[in-house]
């Protein structure tokens, strides 16, 4: 079975009862549509017979009134079936909602490779434009297919009636259909290619918009508005070209199909009119054929239109399946072990190499390692080599190294966002691949180097990852992160609304919100990725003092460039320029490792 057909069937199974109702509605609507020409035929032939042979009808109005009552009944039935398009639109929205939720769940589970491969604007396009509106997937799954089903049933029932009356006129009516199918078959590949290129162009524009608006401050600071205008104009020009290709092809096909039906209509009028004049068919029968032909012209166009919209929807289906099937480390496995308590973290000769480093597809602090000319030709070298350490409850480990040394890579290895290329990571003596990553991350508090806030209040951002929090834990998190006093100065206190990425508050305040967000869940392991960039020395000292007082058993992995941080940690993991890891106390490394001594002298801020 075709993969696209299998996909459609899977979606239908989720909405099967609604689709059953729609199928019943379709048959009722078809019955209501084909009835009037039959009744009109009876009325016209009755009136003709009354005029020609009045003696056979002593009470002519009795017969006429019976037909009029049939018209009234059909009118009420049309009121009932008139809600069908509204119901169909509602089911379209159900498909749209379920598809967005289904594919969004896959996207949020992807690892770093996915988000380096697909740009933000492209992902947004696939979850919005590719799913909704005509002739996209949600429309095709319901309205597109059921319009074709309605058209097919209307054509079928009409042809049954027409064949029972006169087979010659009926053949003239269906003559265009085979030719339409041939034209579609010839043009189908071109339709698919044109639509695929157009959706890629739409993704490019959305990506350009996302970059422009998210980086608007940088654009203005570097007076680059005109440059981005040119970028956007180029992206629009590509989309204009692909849109025009689609419009031209669609216009040509529509013109061909309409003229084919127009010729068929002329043929039925000429042949049917001739037969009516000769008395071979009645005037009512000729009217019936003419009415049915007028009724099935657009349904005849709907059938090839189904294939056309189907080809376009198949492009969207392939684009959605591409992001769903993109490989990721974060696979679900019901056999993985749960975890409730942190007892130890053991890195055993861990080495990690980014598979896509030749394309600079790595985390921000590793980008510099890929910029040399040699990196373009040589086999990619590991970011981190032979990393070994053991972290126990209550211990604090400081990771040091130059920019691009691999510090954030280790943090992401701890979180399970990356998997080691060599060596192993053990949690509580168990290989990390056997541990449920959700349970492991639940006991970790993570503060990223770049503070990321979401649109909403400060309180909502602090409680983002915590389902149930005691008021005392919430207040303690604000106090420890040195945020409580600053919140008190805001007009709306903790209900102060911040925009996306924390617009509306300072960089230091954003960082402290993210620290409170990590602490409010009372983690057992805290990862701080170079938060000193947004915290001054005084606030950092207060932070560590409060952590020591209120979170004494908390383990911590700290990435920092500030020398004062050395006072708050037990051991140091130093990563040299080759990615080799060296573990020890500050005194041990200073006297035994010349690279560490030189690094302190050249890089650490005092």
| Residues β-bridged to residue 584 | 572
Tokens 């079928």 — which residue?
Answer: 156
For residues 464 and 515, give the distance between their C-alpha atoms in angstroms, rounded to a whole number: 12
Asked if residue 591 has pLDDT above 50, the reply is yes
User: pLDDT tens across 18-38, in order?
Assistant: 888 878 878 788 777 777 777
Find the farthest-apart pair of alpha carbons in the chain and give their distance in angstroms, rounded: 127
CATH topology for 3-325? ABC transporter transmembrane region fold (1.20.1560)
> Mean of the pLDDT values across residues 360-368?
42
Tokens 């009118």 — which residue?
Answer: 75
pLDDT of 134 reads 66
* Structural domain boundaries in the chain: 3-325, 336-443+524-540+552-606, 448-522
Short-list 197, 168, 422, CA closest to 270? 168
Q: Report CA-CA distances (Å) from 22 to 135, 244, 249, 416.
A: 19, 35, 32, 47
Helix (H), strand (E) at residue 525: strand 525-529
Are the folds of 336-443+524-540+552-606 and 448-522 the same? yes
Q: What is the DSSP string of 106-173?
A: HHTT--HHHHHHS-HHHHHHHHTTTTSSTTSHHHIIIIIHHHHHHHHHHHHHHHHHHHHH-HHHHHHH
Dihedral angle computed from the Cα positions of residues 559, 564, 569 and 571, in that order, rounded to the nearest 10 degrees: 80
> Mean of the pLDDT values across residues 469-475?
81
User: pLDDT tens across 408-433, in order?
Assistant: 888 888 888 888 888 889 888 888 88
pLDDT band with cut points at 50, 70 and 90 for residue 288: confident
For the beta carbon of residue 307, count every other beta carbon within 10 angstroms: 17
Please measure the distance between the N-terminal and C-terminal CA atoms of the chain and give it in whole angstroms: 68
* Percent above pLDDT 90 for the chain: 1
Asked if residue 470 has pLDDT above 60, the reply is yes
Tokens 């350490």 — which residue?
Answer: 389
Short-list 405, 419, 412, CA closest to 355? 419
Question: What rounded mean pLDDT belongs to the chain?
Answer: 77
Q: Would you state the structure tokens that stand for residue 407, as one six-digit string? A: 């510090």
CATH superfamily, domain at 448-522: P-loop containing nucleotide triphosphate hydrolases (3.40.50.300)
For residues 207 and 215, give the distance between their C-alpha atoms in angstroms, rounded to a whole number: 12
In total, the chain counts a number of residues equal to 606
| Residues β-bridged to residue 398 | 558, 572
Helix (H), strand (E) at residue 69: helix 60-81
Q: Report CA-CA distances (Å) from 542 to 65, 325, 549.
A: 94, 47, 11
Say which residue, 192 or 419, is predicted with more confidence: 419
The whole-model pTM stands at 0.66
> Mean of the pLDDT values across residues 366-381?
48
Helix (H), strand (E) at residue 244: helix 225-277
pLDDT of 346 reads 92
> Mean of the pLDDT values across residues 32-49?
74
User: pLDDT tens across 546-580, in order?
Assistant: 888 888 788 889 887 777 778 888 888 988 888 88
CATH 3.40.50.1820 fits 336-443+524-540+552-606, yes or no: no
């Amino acid at each position: 079975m075709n993969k696209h057909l299998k996909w459609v069937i899977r979606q239908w199974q989720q909405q099967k009862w609604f689709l059953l109702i729609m199928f019943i509605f379709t048959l009722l609507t078809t019955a209501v549509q084909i009835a009037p020409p039959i009744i009109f035929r009876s009325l016209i032939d009755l009136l003709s017979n009354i005029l020609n042979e009045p003696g056979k009808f002593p009470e002519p109005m009795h017969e006429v009134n019976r037909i009029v009552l049939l018209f009234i009944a059909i009118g009420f039935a049309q009121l009932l079936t008139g809600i069908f398009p509204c119901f169909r639109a509602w089911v379209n929205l159900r498909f749209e909602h379920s598809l967005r939720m289904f594919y969004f769940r896959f996207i949020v589970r992807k690892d770093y490779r996915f988000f380096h491969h697909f740009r933000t604007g492209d992902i947004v396009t696939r979850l919005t434009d590719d799913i909704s509106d005509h002739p996209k997937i949600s429309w095709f799954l319901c309205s597109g297919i059921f319009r074709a089903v309605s058209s097919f049933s209307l054509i079928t029932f009409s042809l049954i009636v027409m064949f029972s009356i006169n087979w010659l006129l009926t053949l003239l009516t269906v003559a265009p259909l085979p030719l339409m199918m041939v034209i579609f078959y010839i043009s189908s590949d071109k339709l698919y290619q044109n639509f695929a290129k157009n959706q890629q162009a739409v993704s490019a524009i959305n990506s350009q918009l996302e970059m422009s608006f998210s980086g608007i401050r940088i654009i203005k600071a570097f007076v680059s508005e005109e440059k981005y205008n040119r970028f956007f104009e180029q992206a629009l020009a590509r989309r204009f070209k692909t849109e025009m290709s689609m419009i031209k092809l669609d216009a040509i096909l529509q013109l061909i199909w309409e003229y084919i039906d127009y010729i068929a209509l002329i043929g039925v009028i000429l042949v049917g009119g001739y037969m009516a004049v000769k008395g071979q068919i009645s005037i009512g029968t000729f009217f019936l054929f003419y009415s049915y032909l007028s009724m099935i012209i657009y349904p005849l166009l709907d059938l090839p239109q189904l294939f056309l919209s189907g080809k376009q929807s198949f492009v969207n289906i392939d684009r959605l399946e591409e992001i769903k099937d993109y490989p990721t480390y974060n696979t679900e496995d019901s056999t993985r072990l749960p975890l409730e308590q942190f007892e130890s973290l053991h890195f055993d000769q861990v080495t990690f190499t980014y598979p896509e480093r030749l394309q600079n597809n790595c985390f921000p602090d590793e980008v510099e390692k890929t910029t040399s000319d040699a990196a373009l030709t040589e086999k990619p070298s590991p970011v981190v080599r032979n990393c070994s350490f053991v972290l126990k409850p209550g211990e604090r480990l400081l990771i040091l190294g130059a920019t691009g040394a691999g510090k954030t890579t280790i943090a992401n290895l701890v979180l399970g966002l990356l998997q080691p290329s060599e060596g192993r990571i053990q949690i509580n003596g168990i290989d990390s691949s056997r541990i449920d990553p959700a349970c492991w991350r639940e006991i970790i508090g993570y503060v990223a180097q770049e503070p990321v806030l979401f649109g909403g209040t400060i309180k909502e951002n602090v409680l983002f990852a915590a389902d149930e929090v005691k008021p005392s834990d919430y207040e303690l998190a604000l106090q420890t992160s040195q945020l409580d006093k600053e919140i008190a100065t805001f007009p709306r206190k903790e209900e102060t609304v911040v925009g996306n990425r924390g617009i509306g508050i300072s960089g230091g305040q954003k960082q402290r919100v993210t620290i409170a967000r990590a602490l409010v869940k009372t983690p057992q392991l805290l990862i701080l990725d170079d938060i000193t960039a947004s915290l001054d020395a005084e606030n950092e000292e207060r932070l560590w003092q409060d952590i020591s007082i209120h979170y004494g058993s908390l383990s911590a992995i700290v990435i920092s460039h500030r020398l004062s941080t050395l006072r708050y940690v037990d051991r140091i993991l130093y990563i040299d320029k080759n990615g080799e890891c060296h573990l020890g106390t500050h005194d041990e490394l200073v006297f035994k490792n010349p690279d560490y001594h030189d690094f302190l002298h050249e890089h650490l801020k005092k």
